[in-house]
Amino acid sequence: MKLLSKICGAAAIALSLLAGTAASAGTIEDIRARGVLRIPAILNETPYFNKDPRTGEWQGFVLDMANDIAKTLDVKLEVVESSWANAILDVQSGKVDMAFAVTATPVRAMSVSFSDPTYYNSFVLVSAKEEIAGKTWTELNDPKYTFAVDLGSAQDLITQQYLPKANILRFKTRDEAIVAVTTGKADALVNTMLNGLVIAKKAPTIGAVQVPTPVLSTPSVIALNYGADETFKSFVSAWAEYNRRIGNNQTWILKSLETFGITLDDMPVGFGFGG
């Protein structure tokens, strides 16, 4: 009976040690053991993501960034189809290891951890109206102006903070907001520099990118699960900082923008995604 008790006790200790080892396994080790790095991707969100319907292959600057991280970890990249709304939930649930192109907001910081910035984006207006050009955010904060924005986006938050007196039309999708401007229902579209450049090229009648002053820049970060270990978080932040500072991230972004005929010359003077 005593022997049985000793055996059971030893087994319990062994199981406890195994459990402790599993619990303390680093995220990098988990990813390497799995052999894949998982990220969410969104359909028809060029230049971030684009899925070729014929081959099923994903492209876009986010894929270039994620592939570089996967290569550094010596694993393959696995893409999980998602949406902007669900990407954070995918990170929280452990369905993916990280999510790119996330705007760091205080609300999101309560759900996920953020890396250092991968690039910087600025909030802009896209408009064909000359009176919009050269204005400050304070001057635009006037009931005589009507702006279109996609509901719940980072740019929607900007309108609430900087344009509370202006007339804001909020739409479920970005395309609906674009139509509001092209049909004259709104004076300008509020969006980010990256999206604005693409929108102006795809729909020339909407007008050009205008940058109100002061320039409002926001960091684009990688979202990570709060449960991820510090080694993994430090690695991702170091990757983001290194590639942003030496220009790799901007190079990947510009490569994706080439599809629309966009180059550095199309950007306002002094603007760069490196911050």
Cis peptide before 47 (omega within 30 of 0): yes
Q: What pLDDT is attached to residue 201?
A: 92
Residue 140: alpha-carbon gap to chain centroid: 27
Q: How far apart are CA 156 and CA 134, in angstroms?
A: 21
Helices 230-245, 27-34: crossing angle, 10 deg rounding:
80
CB-based contacts of 255, cutoff 8 Å, min separation 6: 61, 64
Q: What pLDDT is attached to residue 86?
A: 93
Q: How far apart are CA 95 and CA 204, in angstroms?
A: 39
Q: How far apart are CA 121 and CA 103, in angstroms?
A: 9
Q: What pLDDT is attached to residue 26?
A: 62
For the chain, list the domains and their CATH numbers: 27-119+219-264 (3.40.190.10), 121-217 (3.40.190.10)
Least Cα distance to 123 among 42, 223, 213, 250 occurs for 213
Q: Which residues, given as ranges, of the chain have pLDDT below 50?
A: 1-25
Q: What pLDDT is attached to residue 40?
A: 97
